[in-house]
Each structure stands twice: as C-alpha cells, then as structure tokens.
Amino acid sequence: MVEVKLSSLHSQGVPQISEGNDYVTADHIIKLMKTTDGAVLTAGAKLAVGQNSKAETKSRTRQSILSGEPENKRREYVEVGTTFTAFATIRAGQKIFSEIGFEHSSIEKGDGMTDTGVLVEREWTSSVYVQAGEPTLVGAIADKETGTFLIVTANIQK
C-alpha cells in the first residue's frame, strides 16, 4: 500500500484519475517512490501460495484512542494493522489469477485541536489476472490531496 501526494503525480504528467487511454499505473507509483518523496510505502505483506491454494498473513496490535466529547473523554482500545489474503491459480502464458483481500488500519493524529486520534481503515477485495513479475495496480482510494494505491506482484517459483 503506497500513499501518494496527488500533486506529485500531476507534476510528472500523470492524470490523477483515468482520462481515456491515459491512467495511473503501478509503474507511475513505483517511479515516484524511486525518484521523489511524493510516494511512501505505508504497509505491505508477502505470501507464498500454492497452485489453487489460499494463504493469509496478519499483523495486528492493540492501540489506544481517545473518543467522546471533550468534557467526557474515554480511552478505547482498537486492533490496528494489516491482513492480506490471497488465492492463486497459475494459467497459461505466465498469467496468475488471484483473488486478494487486503485490509490495513492505523490511528492517525487528529486535527491538532484535540488529543484524539482518528482510526483509518482501508480495505480492498479483488479478483485479478496479473502477469508474473509485473507490478499491477489493483485499487486506489483518494481524497483532495492524497491517493492510497494498492499494488500487487506475483511470481512463479518452480
């Protein structure tokens, strides 16, 4: 999962949304990560999956967050982290059919006016064909300034 400043995409001539045949790709995001500070890897996971098999990896921690009205704050504990699930089938021509699920949650600082944090949860589920060894953009979420992109890569080991 990669967080991207949308202005960084724009400055490299990449559209922030699809425009006809011009669209954001995994290669655009990877180039930004290598050449600027406009893209940062924020979460990742790796799995080994057998033919027609399913695997899952999970990394979770319990963190506290303050909630409620300013005069009646209370501490809550929430689980945050990353879960990645994949099912894979190798097809002809080094193509891999994969059903994936990726969930990531974190507590981000609030607006600075209070000491509460904000629980941010992101989730993608997708059925995709990927070419072995080629990064593939499978999902994105954006707000006014930032885009969050999910990129997957699958390899075949014999």
List the pLDDT tens digit at each of the 158 positions of the chain: 999 999 998 888 887 667 777 888 999 999 999 998 999 999 999 999 989 999 999 999 999 887 777 778 888 889 999 999 999 999 988 899 999 999 999 998 765 555 567 889 999 999 999 999 999 999 999 988 999 999 999 998 87
| Cα–Cα distance for residue pair 91/157, rounded to 1 Å | 14
Tell me the C-alpha distance between 18 and 138, whole Å: 14
pLDDT attached to residue 117: 76
Q: pTM of the entire structure?
A: 0.84
**Are 55 and 13 a contacting pair, CB within 8 Å?**
no
Query: φ, ψ for residue 27 (rounded to 5)?
Result: -60, -40
- Can you give the pLDDT at residue 72? 82
pLDDT value of position 54: 95
Q: If DSSP codes are grouped into helix, strand and coil, which group holds residue 110? A: coil
pLDDT of residue 11: 87
